[in-house]
Amino acid sequence: MLGVNNKNKSMKSTIVIQNLKCGGCASTITTKISALDNVNNVLVDVETSIVSFEASSEEDITTVKNKLAAIGYPVEGEDNSMVSKAKSFVSCATGRMSN
């Protein structure tokens, strides 16, 4: 779901991801996605596997999707290989340790 917020020209995006298991996962996702340029207001809902955020452009949304896949949380419907699942376990553990 995409929409344009006319106040600051940002795009609100909501993405359903795979492999999201707990608050540790959510912590890592929030930290990694919030660190990206032109991405703000990152929220992760563990129960629904939804990541929502505001981005400046379609390119920034693609960057978020690529980052999510790189840390083991591919977008729903994309390939979810054993490598992705393993990466998500590492990201989950990292998120737990940082809390």
- DSSP per residue, 10-78: EEEEEEEBSS--SHHHHHHHHHHHHTSTTEEEEEEETTTTEEEEEESSHHHHHHHHHHHHHTT-PBTTS
Q: What is the pLDDT of residue 2?
A: 47
- pLDDT of residue 63 exceeding 70, the answer is yes
Rounded CA-CA distance 17/82 in Å is 15
Q: What is the pLDDT of residue 72?
A: 94
Rounded CA-CA distance 50/98 in Å is 21
Say what the pTM is: 0.85
Q: Which domains does the chain have, with CATH numbers?
A: 2-76 (3.30.70.100)
- pLDDT, tens only, 21-30: 999 999 999 9
Instruction: Give the number of residues written for the chain.
Output: 99
